Amino acid sequence: MTLTSSTKINPSDRIIYALDFSSTKDACQEIDRIYPEIVFFKVGLELFLASGWEVVDYIIHKGGKVMLDLKFLDIPATVASAVKQVNQHQGISLLTVHGHKQTIEAAVAARENQSLQILGVTLLTSFGPSDMLELVGQDNFIKPQDLVLARAKSSLDAGADGLVASAMEAKQLRQSLSQNHGSDFVLVTPGIRLLATAIDKDDQQRIATPQEALAQGSDYLVIGRPIRTAKDPIAIIQSIKALL
């Protein structure tokens, strides 16, 4: 069976641009430079610590969409309180929470706007087999994809709307989880590179091209450096969108 991403998503919305900047000014200038060629933006920990809610609100007021990628992980009461802060900023589309059952349950219970989708983070794409060995030890070693599947199932069982996972696990997740959870859960894939053999992986290990990710079942593609460092980012964006 060939697995493909959801056809319900507008191709123009599939690219989530990672705003990997350390200042509000630089981030807003970049948004202005490429909006509305891209309308979906990821605000991660670095930028959020630099700007607070300023960039998030700037995107929303501009008419764009936000993936707030803060990867919440704490005791349930603290996670719930954090989600209540997110509730005050209407227009955030995706929120990342580490894929632990109690953490996901707390986040889902605390959200007030059902248009805010909770994503369970399975395993960071910077993790490879050697990292797993260090994490669990030789006697308890499991493959990264097995841990991803376990955390994905736990996340969806706890009420998450979707998952963050690399394209390398997307096909397995679609096949293994669709029976109990259907095919409508959202799958967001970071670690996207324009060439499968990209030398510049930075800190990513489990990477894929846009075509590979979509073919494996990913819905949204988080792309940062290939666009940010391009001489003509608009041309790069248009070339990617042509494949979606």
Residue in 71, 101, 171, 241 annotated catalytic: 71
Return the pLDDT at 114. Answer: 87
Summarize pLDDT for 112-137 with one digit per residue, the tens: 988 999 999 988 767 767 776 776 66
Return the pLDDT at 104. Answer: 98
Q: What DSSP element (H or E) covers 146?
A: helix 144-157
- Here the tokens at position 117 are 């989708």
* Prediction pTM value: 0.89
Return the pLDDT at 87. Answer: 95
CA angle 10, 231, 190 (to 5 degrees): 45
Residue 80 clears pLDDT 70, i.e. is over it = yes
Residue 206 clears pLDDT 70, i.e. is over it = no
Which range is least confidently modeled, 43-47, 93-97, 174-178?
A: 174-178
Does residue 36 have a cis bond before it (omega within 30 degrees)?
A: yes
Ranges of each domain in the chain:
11-241
Summarize pLDDT for 101-111 with one digit per residue, the tens: 999 999 999 99
Is 71 tagged catalytic? yes
Helix and strand numbers (H, E) in the chain are 11, 8
Checking phi first, is residue 159 left (phi over 0); if not, alpha (psi -120 to 50) or beta? left
CA angle 97, 100, 103 (to 5 degrees): 60
- Here the tokens at position 193 are 């590179």
Return the pLDDT at 142. Answer: 72
Which residues fall within 8 angstroms of residue 149, CB to CB, at 6 or more apart?
A: 169, 172, 173, 176
- Here the tokens at position 139 are 């006697």
Q: What CATH class is the domain 11-241?
A: alpha beta
CB 207 within 8 A of CB 192: yes
d(Cα 184, Cα 57) in Å, to the nearest integer? 28
